[in-house]
Amino acid sequence: MQITLEDTGRRFNRDWIFKNISYTFTSGNSYAILGSNGSGKSTLLQILNGSLGPSKGKITYTLNGAVIPTEAIYEHLSLAAPYLELIEDFSLNEMIDFHFKFKPLLPNISKQDVIALLNLSTNANKLIKYFSSGMKQRLKLVLAFCSDTPILMLDEPTSNLDTQGIEWYRDLVQQFSAGRLTIVCSNQLHEYDFCQNQLNIADYKAQPVTQ
């Protein structure tokens, strides 16, 4: 799997968030998208996952040499991000069942394994709306990591996690990121220090458009 950006930029109103990004992301490698809060990391990730179009330039997805249409790329990726909503009126069991109707589970991973990874066996029938923010973030991460997709995208993955939760996240990375195209948006080293490659948004900033 490859994601290729060619002279890509995104603007809101008159201001460019970033501009002139030409970059290729390739399966089997991990990438950190770096920048301060509000710098445009999440915006770039949304362009990479097809939920937001670029204002200029081109993005191309290829799998085994075949081009994948942007509208179909969601089938090939998993995403965990603070702004993604869980269905609050579902129980944990129902949320897992619902998610894996759309994404296949990794081979040799069962629903029970997912619940065990969360360490929430006694909460399987508890409604998501009664979960703490940390429990919700763990659930988002496990659903992404345990989905059998070639692309894994993580935006601020340890948001709402305590020190123990951060170590748990790093264990997930060790277990489930090998061989995938992994992209992490972060400004915290512990979230991305395993990444072999870095793209810093600050390198692609542009001045406001003038007329």
The CATH number given to whatever domain includes residue 136 is 3.40.50.300
Rounded to 5 degrees, φ, ψ at 193 are -65, -10
Which residues touch 144 (CB under 8 Å, ≥6 apart)? 78, 79, 80, 152, 153, 154
Q: How confident is the model at residue 118 (pLDDT cuts 50, 70, 90)?
A: very high
Q: Is 209 contained in some domain?
A: no
Judge whether 171 and 178 are in contact, CB under 8 Å: no
Q: How confident is the model at residue 38 (pLDDT cuts 50, 70, 90)?
A: confident
Domain that includes residue 168, residue range: 2-204
Q: Is 210 contained in some domain?
A: no
Question: What is the structure's pLDDT at 211?
Answer: 41
Question: What is the structure's pLDDT at 207?
Answer: 54
Q: Is 64 contained in some domain?
A: yes
Q: Is 211 contained in some domain?
A: no
31 vs 181: CA distance, rounded Å: 8
pLDDT per residue as tens digits for the range 135-173:
999 999 999 999 999 999 999 999 999 999 999 999 999
Strand order in the sheet with 15-26: 15-26, 2-12, 56-63, 66-68
C-alpha torsion sign, points 77, 79, 84, 85: positive
Q: Is 47 contained in some domain?
A: yes
pLDDT per residue as tens digits for the range 177-198:
999 999 999 999 999 999 999 9
Judge whether 8 and 54 are in contact, CB under 8 Å: yes
Question: What is the structure's pLDDT at 59?
Answer: 97
Beta bridge partners of 39: none
Q: Is 117 contained in some domain?
A: yes
Count of domains forming the chain = 1
Q: Is 100 contained in some domain?
A: yes
For residue 59, the one-letter residue type is I
Pick from 77-81, 124-128, 180-184, 206-210: least confident: 206-210
Write 65-68 long-range contacts (CB < 8 A, 24+): none
pLDDT per residue as tens digits for the range 88-105:
999 999 999 999 999 999
Q: Is 31 contained in some domain?
A: yes
Question: What is the structure's pLDDT at 49?
Answer: 96
Which residue matches tokens 């305590």? 162
Which residues touch 210 (CB under 8 Å, ≥6 apart)? none
